[in-house]
Structure 1
Amino acid sequence: MLPCKRPAVFLIWAVLLTSLTACANSPVAKNLEESLAADPKLQSNPVVFGESQSNQPQAQQNESTVQLPPDFPKDIPLYSNAKLQEVTPASGGSENRVSTRWLSSDPSNFIASFYSSQFQTNNWQILQQPTDDAGGAFEARRNDLLLKVSIQPKSVTNATPNQPQTATELLIEYVPNSTATAQSTSTTNPNETTNAVPQPGDSQFIGPVPPANLAAQPPSTANNQATPTPTAESQEFNDLNKAPQEWRQHIQDLAALGVLSIEPEATKSNSTTTTNQFEPGKIVTHREYARWLIAANNAMYASNPAKQIRLASETTQPVFSDVSAKDPDFPAIQGLAEAGLIPSPLSGDSTVVLFRPDAPLTREQLLLWKLPLDTRQALPSANLDAVKQTWGFQDAARIDPKALRAVLADYQNGEQSNIRRMFGYTTLFQPKKPVTRAEAATALSYFGSQGEGVSATEALKLKRSSNNS
């Protein structure tokens, strides 16, 4: 059967060839010829089978031709997911500063946390650090090397389909060792030992300088197992009439216990007049509340060492990069962190590297720090629905998830809950609202749950009876 079909096949091919020959100059033939012609680009760019052509230009584009200087100090920590963009050599001026610019797709707070941890663990002396998570600059010193790391979020205008819409620019500037040594010897004592944290009196120190009457007290309190800081002497305030009537007795009792120590903001010459003013309507700071929280707890349980909070020693490695061991409130702040009562890297919150001692204390922070001392046990599991059903707060959704457990645990304290004693009946918690000194004192006037706790009034009676005996 097959030999019979061959003449038919030959006949078909003959007809096709005749048609093409006859229409050689037609537009159809031209288009057919061009479509079957070889790609002229292959002559200059031959294809090598087995290699990906689409990845080659991208790989070449991602490779950086910028190189670090050969003498780039190995001590300087480099963020792994950052690409070097530019190097500006030293100009030879007075500073002789070398500058390197980097770009990363990671958020700025991740990078800031990385550098804060690196500086702290590798014994850098932090001279300056960012004031918020949006960006800022670190200035640090180690031996004779001066370093500045600036972190700045950037928006990507022409992002590719797989590229993030935001980026972070890093500017790492350093003064070569020889120049830094010359600068250091002219401003510091050659016999001075470099510490991991800035020291008061150092020309590079940035931060609050402790008053003369408080600076010498942390070492003595650190040697005592549980002594309120900075003093347990009774205090008298002459402006308590500015506080609401229902809070005045609480403040007076705590003052008589020596709990509400006020760090003078003026000079030593007029500090006497400052300490007589409690200023009940003033916003309380993180450092003040930390100091009062330990002092109040230890005063309430003066006869029960097992419930007291130990103050940290000056020799302890600071857990927060913005609270040095020379800070007058370091023993209290570090003590709270080591007891696990405030969020810190010690409690598993690796991103909480700053304490922000002079920042206002919020309502949710007050509860988060105090409730573990009320319940003396792990806080209960909580979610948004549970808080809404118990307290009925209209703004419950604004409460930080970490603080939800403390808010729910406070509800279980009944009439002795901190929220009820501070704010009375309310359907708005306003978790981000700053706390006043009077409100903080009211919260600290009682520790424990309903029916099982101790008040400042009871502790004061016990103290007076002990002194009389």
Structure 2
Amino acid sequence: MNGKYFLTALSLILSVGGSLTACSGDRNAQDWFAPNPELQGNSPALDPSPSSSPSPASTPRELPLPTSKEIKDNKLPPNFPKAIPIYTRAKLLESQYRVGEIKGETRWQTEADRDTVAAFYRQEFEGNNWEFNASESNNTLLVASQDNLNLKLSIPPASESDSGTIFLLEYASNLSTAKGQATQSKSEDSQNEKKPENSLDLKQVSPQVRGYIEDFAALELLPKNFDPNKTITRREYARWLFEVHNTLYRDRATKQIRPVTSASQPAFTDIKAGDRDFAMIQGLAEAGIIPSRLSQNTEALLFQPDAPLTREILILWKVPLDLRKALPSTSIDAVQKTWGFQDSEQIQPKALKAVFVDFENGENANILRAFGYTTLFQPKKAVTGAEAAAALWYFGYQGDGISAKEILALESSQEEKQ
């Protein structure tokens, strides 16, 4: 074996095993991820044959984003459990696994920082009933388990910089037999049969907004269990607003909203630090996008996560990310003269400013994309998933912006070059 690659692989295994000693919680956690000499590589980085190409560890951080097909078909170990969520904005560098058991480790690289990675996995685990066995300590971000599956997320030493982060996902099953692996594979096949990729029924969706949903589906940015005709909640919209915005501006870090994993003063009394969406909702509030007591709005003490999203709130939260500066003062008369809404007086004052600015955005106005031409705004009317998708499809003001379609074209171009 080439000496350089041997030392790289050996260093990786030793750093993974060593980082676990700082974990607290389940006393058997160290045994789950103990290094094993039978681990077999499943990556070009571990190919023993000579090669003049650089190893994954030396690959520049400006990495092309992998498609879901590349992740599933080319690099993930064959025993990688389906229950483990994949951070799709990361590139898989290398992997090792043990034959005959559900046990292995994967190494990833992303342009996001460690807090963003940790927030993503904490949200996924909390939303899917995983149990946390250890808190953050040294290089270990979290250790969690579900049924017979154990997982550790960690950051190797010196693996975080201004341009991104390298993180490890190590997994091990208590059912460490070939029978357990066969059962897992059967379960995965069953899940694949029940839920085909991008299975959407858009027959009942207006053709004017159908394309927006299809673009999000291609980018894998549709929320779980997305129903285009179902009312969307305030929680669902805030989460989607955060994720779509940061994805569209993924190459412009200065425009992204930062997640906030902990805060001395939560923005809302009904969204605590342990809430699965706290990092994103708090981040939006601290950025001043969602009105809260942090922005001296004494009427916004409650977030009301399960309340239906209304039209005026959709515009109130979205337009600040289009304009990117303070909303100007306006009046009911000004909105009536521009939009011609018969019910302008029913719009709350804060939302009135956003509605006025939205008109100045011309054909890129959120109201036009989401609701079409109308003389009745109906500010308190609930918003559907399809309408929310139409609004989030584009961010920008007066021609300076980005759409989901442009990002989709960019990804297609990158795939063709590979």
TM-score range, shorter chain: 0.5 to 0.7
The corresponding residue for 1:382 is 330
CA contact (8 A) 1:226 1:308 kept: no
The letter of the residue matching 2:128 is P
The corresponding residue for 1:248 is 210
In the TM superposition, what whole-angstrom CA distance separates every residue of 1:138-194 from its partner, at most 9, and x where no partner exists? xxxxxxxxxxxxxxxxxxxxxxxxxxxxxxxxxxxxxxxxxxxxxxxxxxxxxxxxx
The corresponding residue for 2:189 is none
Query: Aligned match of 1:211 in 118, 124, 128?
Result: 128
Query: Aligned match of 1:260 in 195, 210, 222?
Result: 222
Q: Per-residue deviation at 1:330?
A: 1.1
Query: Aligned match of 1:351 in 280, 299, 310?
Result: 299
Alignment of 1:245-394 (within 5 A): 245-262=207-224, 275=225, 278-314=226-262, 317-394=265-342
Q: Per-residue deviation at 1:307?
A: 0.8
Shift in alpha-carbon separation, 1:393–1:346, aligned structure 2, 3 A: same
RMSD: 2.9
The corresponding residue for 1:400 is 348
Q: Per-residue deviation at 1:238?
A: 2.2
CA contact (8 A) 2:271 2:303 kept: yes
SS at match of 2:381: coil
In the TM superposition, what whole-angstrom CA distance separates every residue of 1:117-153 from its partner, at most 9, and x where no partner exists? xxxxxxxxxxxxxxxxxxxxxxxxxxxxxxxxxxxxx
Shift in alpha-carbon separation, 1:342–1:315, aligned structure 2, 3 A: closer
Larger deviation: 250-259 or 304-313?
Answer: 250-259
Determine whether 1:452 maps to 2:400. Answer: yes
Shift in alpha-carbon separation, 1:256–1:326, aligned structure 2, 3 A: farther
The corresponding residue for 2:200 is 238
SS at match of 1:212: coil
Could you say which structure has the larger radius of gyration? 1
Distance 2:241 2:258 in 1: 12
SS at match of 2:391: helix
Q: Per-residue deviation at 1:369?
A: 0.3
Give the gaps of 5 or more residues in structure 2.
1-125, 143-152, 165-195
Give the gaps of 5 or more residues in structure 1.
1-208, 228-233, 263-274
Percentage of identical aligned residues: 51
Distance 2:247 2:197 in 1: 14
SS at match of 2:396: strand
Shift in alpha-carbon separation, 1:309–1:235, aligned structure 2, 3 A: farther
Distance 2:207 2:303 in 1: 33
TM superposition score normalised by structure 1? 0.47
The letter of the residue matching 1:370 is K
CA contact (8 A) 1:447 1:453 kept: yes
Q: Per-residue deviation at 1:318?
A: 2.1
Alignment of 1:21-170 (within 5 A): none
CA contact (8 A) 2:312 2:380 kept: yes
Determine which structure has greater relative contact order: mean sequence separation of CA pairs < 8 Å that are 6+ residues apart, divided by chain length: 2
Shift in alpha-carbon separation, 1:403–1:314, aligned structure 2, 3 A: same
Q: Per-residue deviation at 1:215?
A: 8.6
Shift in alpha-carbon separation, 1:349–1:385, aligned structure 2, 3 A: same
The corresponding residue for 2:381 is 433
CA contact (8 A) 1:344 1:350 kept: yes
Q: Per-residue deviation at 1:371?
A: 0.3
Aligned residues: 239
SS at match of 1:248: helix
The corresponding residue for 1:179 is none
The letter of the residue matching 1:338 is E
CA contact (8 A) 2:209 2:369 kept: no
The letter of the residue matching 1:431 is P
CA contact (8 A) 2:320 2:326 kept: yes
TM superposition score normalised by structure 2? 0.53
SS at match of 1:236: coil
CA contact (8 A) 1:375 1:448 kept: yes
SS at match of 1:447: strand
Shift in alpha-carbon separation, 1:315–1:450, aligned structure 2, 3 A: closer
